[in-house]
């Protein structure tokens, strides 16, 4: 009984919000008729929605008008074969960022359409569930498809031995399993445009946090079917999409020419980074960039062969790629200096 009542209340409140959103008049009369309830009951729901921040009221009792409040929530389930990302965005999710800064709207639009397009084009699933929420502190977006799962799919199509390698590859950018139709930029730029970005699939999760500027690979207890994206953005962020693009793009050619490789993502073997094959995995595909920052944050030490493979062998074979190590521990710095030093000594 109670549950039925709660459901009905939710449906009424959802409807009231939708009517306010659409700008239709005679909100109260419409709800009375549709749900067979009294005017007082409708007003109780409206008061509740105002208290919760979903609606705001203006004017006196008779001429009262309502508009959307600072809190917004929208959920939807869509059949993947039947939707286009820009349409779903415009009809159901753009209003969440109404009234916020243009830079926030641009980031929200970009992340939403890129990630929903991924579900449509890559997931091989049938359905997608989208949940979006806004309050004073944050904008939250979740997009969950019921497809193959991103890490498995990348590992399968790119012939990687382990789905965890897919995470390392994704973090570098320019990774696509469909080069005919895609460029492999969506996840790289979306993860950097939002404050927090996470992909969960199977028992693996890949997160990127702009604040700590870190990428993480996490092993989960349970398993997520399909692919779940979680994105969080501050509604008052000053970040712009252009600044994110500029950071990794060549000013003249507009080419996506720079990347950051989080070296710690190759640590999953549980052992230290010592071998040439580990180094090769880290440098896989990075010759597509002109500037490569190797981020050693979270890496305490490295072995000689590993360092030699990157800073001497790879560097010699790819002179057009500028490799810059950052966030090195003293032990890592020492090994890198040693190889760079001996290489410099050997080349006049």
Ligand X SMILES: Nc1ncnc2c1ncn2[C@@H]1O[C@H](COP(=O)(O)OP(=O)(O)O)[C@@H](O)[C@H]1O
Residues of this chain that bind ligand X (CB under 6 A): 114, 118-119, 122-123, 145, 147-148, 150, 153-154, 175-178, 182-188, 227
Q: Give me the least distance between CB of 158 and ligand X, in Å please.
A: 8
Q: Give me the least distance between CB of 166 and ligand X, in Å please.
A: 8
3-state class of 82 per DSSP? helix
Nearer to ligand X, 27 or 244 (CB): 244
Per rule CB under 5 A, is residue 173 in the interface with Mg ion? no
Nearer to ligand X, 169 or 309 (CB): 169
Q: Which helix (H) or strand (E) holds 130?
A: strand 127-134
Number of DSSP helices (H) and strands (E) in the chain, helices first: 13, 10
Q: Give me the least distance between CB of 292 and ligand X, in Å please.
A: 18
Name the binder of 123 from Mg ion, ligand X, none, CB < 5-8 A by kind: ligand X
Token code pair at residue 19: 């009517």
C-alpha dist (Å) from residue 182 to 84, 128, 177, 216: 16, 21, 8, 25
Q: Give me the least distance between CB of 188 and ligand X, in Å please.
A: 6
d(CA 7, CA 30): 19
d(CA 217, CA 163): 11
Select the residue whose beta carbon is closest to ligand X and give its number: 186
Name the binder of 191 from ligand X, Mg ion, none, CB < 5-8 A by kind: none
Give how far the C-alpha of residue 94 lies from the chain's centroid of Cα atoms, to the nearest Å.
17
DSSP 95: G
Per rule CB under 5 A, is residue 113 in the interface with Mg ion? no
Q: Which helix (H) or strand (E) holds 57?
A: strand 55-58
Nearer to Mg ion, 54 or 188 (CB): 188
Tally Cβ neighbours within 10 Å of residue 140.
18
Nearer to ligand X, 188 or 306 (CB): 188
Name the binder of 116 from ligand X, Mg ion, none, CB < 5-8 A by kind: none
Evaluate the CA torsion angle 217, 221, 225, 231 in order and state its sign.
negative
Per rule CB under 5 A, is residue 186 in the interface with Mg ion? yes
**Stretch of 78-86, 128-136, 181-189, 272-280 lying at the interface with Mg ion (CB under 5 A):** 181-189
Q: Give me the least distance between CB of 148 and Mg ion, in Å please.
A: 15
The number of residues making up the chain comes to 348
Nearer to Mg ion, 179 or 341 (CB): 179
Nearer to Mg ion, 118 or 171 (CB): 118
Q: Which residue in 113, 118, 171, 230 binds Mg ion (CB under 5 A)?
A: 118
Beta strands 214-233 and 55-58: pairing type? unpaired
Those residues whose C-beta lies under 8 Å from the C-beta of residue 241, and which sit 6 or more positions away, are: 103, 106, 107, 110, 189, 193
Name the binder of 42 from ligand X, Mg ion, none, CB < 5-8 A by kind: none
Nearer to ligand X, 68 or 143 (CB): 143
Question: Which residues on neighbouring strands pair with residue 218, listed in sequence order?
Answer: 205
Per rule CB under 5 A, is residue 190 in the interface with Mg ion? no
Binding stretches for Mg ion (CB under 5 A): 118, 186
């Amino acid at each position: 009984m109670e549950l039925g009542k709660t459901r009905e209340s939710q449906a009424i409140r959802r409807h009231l919000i939708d009517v306010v959103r659409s700008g239709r008049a005679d909100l109260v009369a419409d709800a009375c008729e549709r749900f067979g309830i009294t005017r007082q009951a409708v007003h109780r729901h409206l008061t509740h929605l105002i208290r919760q921040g979903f609606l705001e009221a203006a004017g006196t009792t008779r001429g009262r008008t309502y508009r959307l409040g600072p809190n917004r929530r929208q959920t939807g389930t869509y059949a993947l074969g039947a939707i286009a990302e820009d349409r779903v965005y415009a009809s159901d999710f753009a209003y969440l960022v109404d009234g916020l800064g243009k830079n926030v709207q641009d980031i929200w639009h970009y992340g939403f359409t890129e990630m929903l397009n991924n579900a449509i084009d890559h997931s091989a699933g049938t359905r997608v569930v989208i949940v979006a929420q806004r309050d004073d502190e944050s904008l939250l977006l979740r997009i969950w498809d019921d497809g193959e799962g991103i890490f498995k799919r990348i590992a399968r199509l790119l012939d990687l031995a382990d789905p965890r390698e897919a995470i390392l590859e994704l973090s570098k950018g320019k990774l696509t399993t469909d080069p005919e139709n895609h460029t492999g930029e969506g996840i790289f730029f979306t993860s950097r445009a939002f404050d927090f970005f996470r992909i969960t699939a199977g028992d693996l999760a890949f997160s990127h946090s702009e604040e700590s500027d870190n990428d993480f690979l996490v092993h989960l207890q349970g398993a997520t079917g399909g692919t779940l994206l979680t994105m969080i953005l501050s509604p008052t962020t000053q970040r712009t999409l252009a600044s994110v693009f500029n950071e990794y793009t060549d000013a003249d050619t507009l080419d996506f020419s720079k990347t950051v490789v989080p070296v710690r993502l190759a640590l999953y073997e549980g052992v230290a980074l010592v071998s040439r094959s580990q180094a090769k995995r880290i440098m896989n595909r990075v010759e597509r960039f002109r500037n490569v920052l190797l981020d050693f944050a979270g890496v305490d030490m490295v072995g000689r062969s590993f360092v030699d493979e990157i800073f001497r062998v790879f560097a010699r074979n790819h002179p057009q790629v500028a490799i810059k190590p950052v966030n090195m521990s003293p032990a890592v710095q020492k090994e890198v200096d040693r190889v760079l030093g001996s290489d410099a000594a050997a080349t006049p």
